[in-house]
């Protein structure tokens, strides 16, 4: 059993709690997820089963969309509603136009310092463990992208928003920083993840729904099989000899590509593949993995190899 399940995570449980529940429901140990949600947050969590756990490098880089709410007026040590207050309470709030002006400065490429209560590690220890010991650690800012950030509703002290961002973005930090910049403090009071890449919350299932479906022995209804993942990318068929090369982690020439179902050809006139990731299949239609073209060459190199025909499979990079 290999594939993805789109889970609708409830509030007040960890992402790891979801994994434990899925392991119990399916009776298997090889389960993982692509992108942690804080206990307070709800929404889309992509869970991988079996060989699909090897897809983490692909899915972890996907953009994410969130809807949430910022509570203005005071800040907390965790930057969200589950933390302790760290500022006085302010009751005078800026106008919506003033907030919109500040939000503009968050868009595009920027740098973000991870919140003190996070799983980011410093000298081998998660920051949240150090924060609990009242140790203040200075961490380096990380580059992130905010592709969109707009206000959906504003009724002081509550500000409803929606944003799209790159992987690794801490929405709690954005809420805290916005509150500091506009001078009235603030923290994240609600958050829901609505999209990861092309997968949406509307496609997801609750843990209760998943359990009932599995009990009815209809798990194929909710599992996205390996060959159906990342369908927005070209599907390429390889010759038998090239399949063996790919499965051993070797590059192959672009000219070996037999066929693509995306516009009938993934190649430009300059013999370059026009997508960052391509899906690989053997001549029988069995999924082999993912690859990308080596820059400034006519070779494609496997990013991830999954031999669905044999029990012994490896990841190549």
Q: How confident is the model at residue 309 (pLDDT cuts 50, 70, 90)?
A: low
7 or 135, which is more confident: 7
Tokens matching residue 126: 């998660």
- What does the pLDDT look like over 221-250, one tens digit per residue? 999 998 888 888 888 888 888 888 888 889
As a whole number, the mean pLDDT across the chain is 86
Residue 228: which H helix or E strand, with range? Answer: none
- What does the pLDDT look like over 267-295, one tens digit per residue? 444 444 445 788 888 888 888 888 887 77
Give me the pLDDT at residue 226, please.
87
160 is catalytic: no
- What does the pLDDT look like over 20-49, one tens digit per residue? 999 999 999 999 999 899 999 999 999 999
Give me the pLDDT at residue 307, please.
66
Answer yes or no: are the C-beta atoms of 191 and 35 closer than 8 Å.
no
117 or 209, which is more confident: 209
Residue of 38, 227, 242, 307 with catalytic role: 38
Domains of the chain: 3-62+198-226 (3.30.2350.10), 64-192 (3.30.2350.10), 230-305 (2.30.130.10)
- The two most distant CA atoms of the chain are separated, in Å, by 70
Q: Is the pLDDT of residue 310 over 90?
A: no
pTM of the model: 0.86
Q: Tell me how far apart the alpha carbons of residues 194 and 41 are, in angstroms, rounded to a whole number.
A: 11
Residue 18: which H helix or E strand, with range? Answer: helix 15-26
Q: How far is CA 158 from CA 88, 163, 282, in A?
A: 17, 16, 54
Give me the pLDDT at residue 253, please.
84
Start-end of H helices in 137-253: 171-181, 207-215, 240-247
Q: Tell me how far apart the alpha carbons of residues 72 and 91 are, in angstroms, rounded to a whole number.
A: 9
Q: How confident is the model at residue 316 (pLDDT cuts 50, 70, 90)?
A: very low
Answer yes or no: are the C-beta atoms of 64 and 143 closer than 8 Å.
no
Give me the pLDDT at residue 261, please.
44
Tokens matching residue 29: 């140990």
- What does the pLDDT look like over 109-167, one tens digit per residue? 999 988 887 777 777 777 777 778 777 888 888 999 999 999 999 999 999 999 999 99
């Amino acid at each position: 059993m290999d594939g993805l399940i789109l889970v609708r995570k409830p509030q007040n449980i960890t992402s790891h709690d979801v994994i434990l529940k899925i392991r119990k429901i399916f009776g298997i140990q090889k389960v993982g997820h692509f992108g942690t949600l804080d206990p307070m947050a709800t929404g889309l969590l992509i869970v991988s089963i079996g060989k699909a756990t090897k897809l983490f490098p692909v899915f972890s880089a996907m953009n994410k969309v969130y809807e949430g709410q910022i509570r203005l007026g005071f800040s907390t040590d965790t930057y969200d509603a589950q933390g302790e207050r760290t500022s006085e309470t302010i009751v005078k709030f800026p106008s919506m136009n003033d907030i919109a002006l500040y939000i503009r400065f968050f868009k595009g490429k920027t740098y973000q310092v991870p919140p003190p209560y996070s799983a980011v590690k410093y000298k081998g220890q998660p920051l949240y463990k150090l924060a609990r010991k009242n140790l203040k650690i200075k961490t380096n800012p990380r580059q992130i992208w905010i592709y969109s950030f707009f206000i959906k509703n504003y009724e002081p002290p509550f500000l409803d928003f929606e944003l799209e961002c790159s992987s690794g973005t801490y929405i709690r930090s954005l809420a805290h920083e916005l509150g500091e910049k506009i001078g009235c403090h603030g923290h994240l009071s609600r958050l829901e993840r609505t999209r990861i890449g092309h997968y949406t919350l509307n496609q997801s299932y609750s843990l209760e729904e998943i359990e009932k479906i599995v009990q009815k022995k209809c798990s194929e209804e909710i599992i996205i099989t390996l060959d159906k993942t990342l369908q927005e990318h070209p599907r390429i068929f390889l010759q038998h000899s090239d399949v063996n090369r790919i499965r051993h982690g070797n590059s192959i020439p672009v000219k070996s590509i037999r066929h693509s179902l995306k516009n009938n050809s993934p190649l430009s006139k300059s013999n370059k593949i026009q997508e960052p990731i391509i899906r690989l299949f053997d001549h029988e239609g069995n999924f082999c993995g993912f690859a990308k073209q080596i820059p400034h060459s006519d070779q494609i190199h496997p990013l991830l190899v999954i031999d669905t025909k044999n029990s012994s499979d490896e990841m190549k990079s």
